[in-house]
Structure 1
Amino acid sequence: MYKSRFSLALTLAGMLSCTAHAQSSITLYGRIDVAVSADSFSDNGATKGKTAISELSDISWWGLRGIEDLGGGTKAIFKLESWFNATTGAQFSPVSFFARESYVGLSNADYGTLQLGSQYAPSVWVTVPVDPFGRSTNGSIISLSTQFPGPSGNARGSLGTINGSIQYITPRFGGLVGRLMYAPSGRADAPTTLGSTVAGGLYYSGKNVYVAASYESQRQAGSTFGLSNEASVPTTTYTLGATYDLHYLKLHGFLERNSVPQLGNMEGYMLGVTVPVFAGAIRSSYFTRWNQNAGGTRASQSAIGYIYPFSKRTSVYANFAHLSNADAVSFGLLPGSIDTYAAQKLPTPGQNENSFEVGLRHEF
């Protein structure tokens, strides 16, 4: 009798375990992207030209996504995503293990989604579909459009990830989705607003068209922008992007404006095209940016490349990119500008960069 009851208990426990497993899931996913890159930096008089061949890790990551059905159409969700250097195995950020996104939330098809944690800024969801290079490789839009570490420290542009943020994502209305985000400063000492962020975006996906816009305003230290008399100032960025698919080619466009009190606006635009060729595609873009009322601040980037998929998960690509810097700026091409050449203080102000790369990408 005891053995019968024990067997029954094990059977019921197994059934409950299967039921719980059916209502929830955890997915391991990621991408490994490595390229061999030949980069040359021009002779600008003060600095002699230099050339190097490197193996660079493009945007590689791994992550965990989880979902649990709570009933009534509501689900608990989470995401943990880590960014790493595939050529060394090191984390991209030495202080943040999950440097891309880490959040927990509740989602309902009728009422929308609420997420809390470290999350992508609304502009990321504008640029990912708009950039012909998908925000990666040496043709990436983020080399010039996004606040990103580099030799010159790009302080003017859209945000990447917003820590300590609360985000609401609307249900889908036709092809339209909205995002609203707020991140408190968490500061008790003055300036109490430093780091606080308000942001949002609207995104429309149609049969052949994608149109999106974002707004981001964050309080940052005045010293970041050379305003030493200001403890904190708002830096506000607007973006607008669109694609139109003609089947035989896709057109890409992007506009950006960043404003900081007491300074002229930073403005930029990108034009791009994707052309299907055989099973792959030719990708090309041109991006330029400058600061109003400030000479020597224009930087321009041109890129062209071809990507060929061996399968849905594995691709090979080859790209050429050129970046020109005016006298007062020293932008660099990703991924080398953060992966390798920033430590060598390249490029210097006014120095141009050429980059040819061949890479292999695998997604899982």
Structure 2
Amino acid sequence: MFYKIEHNDIGTSARAGVITTDHGTFETPIFMPVGTAGTVKAMHQRELEQEADAPIILGNTYHLYLRPGLNIIEQAGGLHKFIGWKRSILTDSGGFQVYSLSGIRKINEEGVKFKSHIDGSAHFFTPESVMDIQRTIGADIVMAFDECTPYPCEYEYARKSMEMTHRWLGRCVTRMAETEPKYGYQQHLFPIVQGSVYKDLRLKSAEVIAEAGCVGNAIGGLSVGEPAEEMYAMSELVCSVLPKDKPRYLMGVGTPENLLENIALGIDMFDCVMPTRNARNGMLFTTQGIINIRNKKWENDFTPLDQGLDIYLNDYYTKAYVRHLVHNNEMLGAQIATIQNISFYLWLMREARKQIVAGTFREWKERMVKQCMQRL
């Protein structure tokens, strides 16, 4: 994999780049739809490709390890073949899931003991085993095993956790170096910057991660409840240290506004469950603003969901019909809403790139933040 910057914005730190893996080349900035268990909920792979034009999706090590299990994935020839996806895949290491299982896991220097949220069975993740699991899953980009600290978080806890994450990274790098990909294509490791919202810890972590010399770098431990201003401050600080010639991935973020503001700070890659999760609850992200399709005001609105997007939904479905589907808990309602939201997020990334190339990103961003976040 390699990353090439094609344009730098005038007036912000936004970049327009290109990332290449053995499963294709894609442009940045990019949003990666979350397919936690090998599926972006309520979307067919064909819709991901042909409607949203998603060049990369995200899977999760923890969930795929539990179900369907590594034996099934390996028999299929890796996750790409198992789910019928020919484009790039990134897998989260499971660190965030470990964080979310605070009541049923124990962390020590060796790794993490946890109980399955499915059946209560006991499991043990180490940096080495997580690298092996991701070798078997076969993602193009794999994440180092880390601990994601909560917010708020005491300074000493954040410091000790960060230092352990750094030690774990050394073990991840070693394990990747002594093992080979299983399916004939390259896999690439991204380490993760931690340090909660403490400036000195984030600086130190960014320096350690930069020195690791991996092909790309990630920023974790944000979007866990901290104010948006704290998130932006940490992103800006970390981006000032991480290498400019390598992609930067901000994990688990977020709203359209979050994405645009972080692009301006120098972030290239994003993922978040928000567009798919909110779709299933009737919240639609559109080029004109946010629609709560459950509201009565849409009951007799027979206009398309979003004429600003060039997708087939506009030829078939109106706001009134989608409201009817959602109110009746019809699966088609969730499907339509999900296609809309994922298509919008990918459209937003493509538009941001166009503005970076044109040198008009800052003005466009200010206008678009207000437009796409207004409640209709």
Query: Normalised by the size of structure 2, how large is the TM-score?
Result: 0.29
Please tell me whether Structure 1 or Structure 2 has the larger radius of gyration of its CA atoms.
1
More helix by share: 2
State the structure with bigger RCO (CA 8 A, min sep 6), 1 or 2: 2
More strand by share: 1
